[in-house]
Amino acid sequence: MQATSPRLSDALVQLRTLAAAGPLTFGGLLDALNSRGHAFVCLVLGFPFLTPVPLPGVSIPFGIMIVVVAFCMVAGLPPWMPTTWRGRVLPAELVVKVIDFALKVLRKIEFLVRPRGQIFLKFPGVIRVSGLAMAFCGGILALPLPPGTNFPPALGVVLIAIGVLESDSIVLGLGYLVAAINGTVVGSITFFGFEYVAGLWHN
């Protein structure tokens, strides 16, 4: 099972320093995150959609990247991205804003997150199931859905990633629950249509 020392907030501080130092490409971001593993890559790609910072046109490429990296996690392969994507530059100011918000959130909740449920986490299939669940949520992020629908799948990705990185089965279980809720909603929209499901939500 993947473990972390230092805490996630410390790793994000290092990433913020890298982003503030100059232009950051997709490839540079992936290389910087590689040492922390697949779950950390998915965490960083999912967290922007939990922030109030506007992210127009970002959900599709970030969602696709989460799917790719999560499937690499399932297959036991290193995180990967297409060569044509590696040179794409991420706006440094936006990256710094998102990381600053993520740091505020993580520093408030880190005391709640700790290694728990080690017996459950020792099952070899847990990592594969976690990767599949993050890939599913990333696939929802990549869909051209209406504004305001990115938060639920991103929350699933972030909770599962934190659960894996901090070996916390409770947070991981919450992530699975959020992923299942996302699956229920997407299934309902598929069968009944978005307007019908949205009407139930507002009633």
Give the domain range for residue 87: 8-176
In a domain, 68, yes or no: yes
pTM over the 0.85 mark: no
In a domain, 88, yes or no: yes
Distance CA 40, CA 196 (A): 36
What percent of the chain is modeled with pLDDT above 70? Answer: 86
Helix (H) or strand (E) holding 201: helix 194-202
In a domain, 184, yes or no: no
Q: Is 79 in contact with 30 (CB distance < 8 Å)?
A: yes
pLDDT in tens, the chain (203 residues): 444 456 778 888 888 888 888 778 888 877 777 666 888 889 988 988 888 776 777 888 889 999 999 999 998 888 888 888 888 887 777 788 888 888 888 888 888 888 887 777 778 789 899 999 999 999 999 988 776 788 999 999 999 999 988 888 999 999 999 999 998 887 776 776 656 555 555 55
Q: What is the pLDDT of residue 54?
A: 67
C-alpha pair distances (Å), 1 with each of 54, 78, 114, 168, 176 = 35, 16, 14, 11, 17
In a domain, 188, yes or no: no
Q: Which two tokens stand for residue 59?
A: 């959900």
C-alpha pair distances (Å), 22 with each of 41, 61, 96, 151 = 20, 21, 11, 29
In a domain, 200, yes or no: no
Q: Is 154 in contact with 47 (CB distance < 8 Å)?
A: yes
For 142-190, the DSSP string reads: TS-PPTT-SHHHHHHHHHHHHHHHTTBHHHHHHHHHHHHHHHHHHHHHH
pLDDT tens for each residue of 84-143 = 888 888 777 778 888 888 888 888 888 888 888 777 777 878 989 999 999 999 999 998
Spatial CA neighbour of 148 closest among 67, 65, 49: 49
Q: What is the pLDDT of residue 3?
A: 43
- Number of domains into which the chain is organized: 1
Distance CA 158, CA 130 (A): 11
User: Using omega within 30 degrees of 0 as the cis cutoff, is the peptide bond preceding 124 cis?
Assistant: no
Helix (H) or strand (E) holding 89: strand 89-90
In a domain, 66, yes or no: yes
In a domain, 193, yes or no: no
In a domain, 189, yes or no: no
